[in-house]
Amino acid sequence: MQKEQKTTLVWFRNDLRIRDNHSLFKAQARNERVIALYCFDPRQFAQTRFGFRKTEKYRAKFLTESVYNLQESLAGLNISLIVVNDKPEKVIPELVELYKIASIYCQCEWTEEELSVLQKVKYNISPDIRINETFDQFLYHPDDCPLAIEDIPRVFTSFRKSCEKKAEVRPLSPEPKIMVLDNLLPKSWAIPSLPELGLTDFNTDPRSAFPFKGGEDQARKRVEQYFFVTKKLGYYKKTRNGLLGTDYSSKLSSWLACGCISPRQIYWAVKEFEQQQYKNQSTYWLVFELIWRDFFKYISLKHQNRIFHLGGILQKDYPWSVSEEEFSIWTGGRTAEPFVNANMTELRETGWMSNRGRQNVASYLAKDLQIDWRMGAAWFESLLIDYDVHSNYGNWMYVAGVGNDPRDRKFNIKLQAQRYDPQSKFQNRWLQKTLF
């Protein structure tokens, strides 16, 4: 790539890593000077229309840890990460003017809020400043997907088989390089504390199944531990429906959600494990789950804002309730189902819930209580450390019967509890009174 000999800005969003980051790679390859930016957008920490914060303390803490790690990593490349607690459309034009920025690189986002911010940024800067967007959160890049966006099928299996047969996962981008030392910028910008974001600081609950910290280094450490040290990857399919402990699943979703690790990095690590150790149903199943993640991203690309509509992508009209009292009973873990209550308590106290738990509590809210499923999706968005807009709303639509489930199932909560928590160990952990 021919260098532009100008200053460029890498605007980090949900791609908080330096490795296999195509925005950073392209910016370095084409420019002599690179500066970076991350904005803690106040809108992401404001009250929702449902009366709770859009981002609560658990996800916020993981995010601040991830940004701090990114700042350190970029400093090692002689790139300053500017961190501000303000709106991008206000900050970016100021930086463009101050540092004579000629171009901007960022990860491509397409959901409503992210598009709105991007449009405001574009409106406030000169049209001569090129914004280079890159699809960098997929396993199968949209340019490689064998299906046109408008032809993405409703059923996951059709999508999976088509991609597995006709698409390939791209190799990782080259390692980032150390730039010429830039003395024009401070090397460290203050990252806001939780109180500065309007949130309460906390200590991780010792019962948590997700006691991990944010950041690219921690993501790489987790892959090394789960894949190559304990070799738990080889048992993933057998244990993935677990409820207790740190190793029943890979727990990589939180780092994926922040972009501390790319799905491509995980995929090629799986392939390395298969070459060094063995290949089985479990190693395949982790890739299978990455394809599910891709599927929901393609569904949102195809259907756009309909993923946020009450009728979902199917535009189905159900008699939904918006009872604040019943919703409060659900969020507070005070329903008639102990299994639901235990999972909701775990979420409230830790910001984490197992995949099995999520399916059950979502089904209970949507199918038993018949409450507007978007209230549940917003609650998950607020509390879940691994919140990802596409997976969250895709899964909620699926469970609510307005998305991609061809069978429109309803979970039998008692049978689920008997099957996955037969000795009530999980329920006892979260429902018994403790001194924590």
> Which ranges in the chain are annotated with CATH 1.10.579.10?
309-431
Whole-model pTM: value is: 0.96
Mean pLDDT score, 377-387: 98
Per residue in 284-312, pLDDT tens? 999 999 999 999 999 999 999 999 999 99
Max CA pair span of the chain: 65
Match 């106290």 to its residue by tokens. 349
Query: First vs last Cα of the chain: how many Å apart?
Result: 56
Per residue in 162-191, pLDDT tens? 999 999 999 999 999 999 877 667 667 899
What CATH class has 309-431? mainly alpha
> Which ranges in the chain are annotated with CATH 3.40.50.620?
7-136
Per residue in 221-263, pLDDT tens? 999 999 999 999 999 999 999 999 999 999 999 999 999 999 9
Q: Cα(247)–Cα(230) distance, rounded to whole angstroms?
A: 9
Res 189: pLDDT: 87
Mean pLDDT score, 84-112: 96
What CATH class has 138-169+216-303? mainly alpha
Q: Mean pLDDT in the chain?
A: 95
> Which ranges in the chain are annotated with CATH 1.25.40.80?
138-169+216-303
Neighbours of 225 (CB within 10 A): 14
Q: Which CATH number fits domain 7-136: 3.20.20.70, 3.40.50.620, 3.40.50.1220, 3.40.50.1820?
A: 3.40.50.620
Q: What DSSP letter does each residue of 139-174 carry, written as one string?
A: SS-TTT-SS-GGG--SSHHHHHHHHHHH--PPPPPP
CB of 132 closer than 8 Å to CB of 103:
yes
